[in-house]
Amino acid sequence: MHSMFLKSPEPSEAYRVDGRAWSVWRGCSLWIVALTHLLSASLCCRFDPKHQYKSVSSERLGRSDSYQEQYVFIYRSSTTTVMDEYQYPDDRPGDEDAFSREPFVVRFKAPQTAVKEFVLIPQHTTPTNTTKELDALYDVLQQVRKMWKTDNVMLLGDFNADCSYLPKKNRKNVRLITDTSLSWLIPDTADTTVRSTTSCAYDRIVVHGETFDRAIVPSSAKAFNFQEEYGLTEKQVTFKKTKNKTKKSLKSHLHN
């Protein structure tokens, strides 16, 4: 789960819906989810009945009809609104169909946070094509900055950005890494996996712009360990390639 707005992020949780394990980033104002099926905002209210939530989601994405995913943002409607959304068409000349699951970009307005308006770009890369997709994500970033005239952009998700999926020798070819205006909040030393036999920083949060970077509560970006927090076994937290999700907090002007 991914904590977004309060200085003290709420605890994260993993849910099982329709027999499937969902890893969800939860924040007091915004939840960010990557699912193979849509997780409705009504589920959020079951676990947080004091607030009302809405959701915005992409279409189902994927090159195969047998396996597709959706990007879903679930947000607290009393504090956060959707200003705009954009499904990246993945038709850049000379680099068409760069992504297996094209980024679904959403622009949010949250007046009670240190950054009032910001853009989120989620991405779940294909492990066998991680280097190319991460580099292509840089083009998406630049297009969105120009289109919406903003520098407050965050990229996040299961980047598969470590170990054999992103060898160190390939990193010099990824502009998302070499551009010094970008801050990678989850370090290479983090372990975002759930298996005891692996230690890889697959899930990442990347922030563009000094203003956005300063708005992050120091040391709040980290992996949430479901197994340790809830006393679960490895079998309970493992579902296909489920990972410990990342979380972070933005400074807020609220003091509740």
Least reliable range by pLDDT among 14-23, 57-66, 185-194, 221-230: 14-23
The single residue listed with the structure tokens 């009504």 is: 42
Across the range 104-113, mean pLDDT stands at 92
Across the range 70-78, mean pLDDT stands at 89
Per-residue pLDDT at 29 exceeds 70: no
Q: In terms of DSSP bridges, do strands 153-158 and 182-184 run parallel, antiparallel, or are they unpaired?
A: unpaired
Quickly count: other Cβ atoms within 10 Å of residue 190's Cβ.
Answer: 20
Burial readout 138-167 (b: 16 or more C-beta within 10 A, e: otherwise): bebbeebbeebebebbbbbbbbbbbbebbe
Per-residue pLDDT at 9 exceeds 50: no
Mean pLDDT of all residues in the chain?
78
Instruction: Give the helix/strand (H/E) hosting 147.
Output: helix 130-148
Quickly count: other Cβ atoms within 10 Å of residue 168's Cβ.
Answer: 8
Give CA–CA dist 118/216, Å, rounded: 13
Q: Tell me, what's the pLDDT at 123?
A: 95
Q: Tell me, what's the pLDDT at 85?
A: 97
Both tokens of residue 25? Answer: 């980033």
CA torsion angle 93 94 96 101 (round to 10): -110
Across the range 74-90, mean pLDDT stands at 93
Per-residue pLDDT at 179 exceeds 90: yes
- What residues are annotated to the active site? 69, 124
Confidence of residue 47 (pLDDT cuts 50, 70, 90): low
**109, 81 Cβ separation under 8 angstroms:** yes
Which residue in 11, 10, 14 sits closest to 33, CA to CA? 14
Q: Tell me, what's the pLDDT at 145?
A: 97
**All domains of the chain in start order, with CATH:** 14-247 (3.60.10.10)
Both tokens of residue 108? Answer: 């949010």
Confidence of residue 228 (pLDDT cuts 50, 70, 90): confident
Write the pLDDT tens digit of every residue in 122-163.
999 999 999 999 999 999 999 999 999 999 999 999 999 999
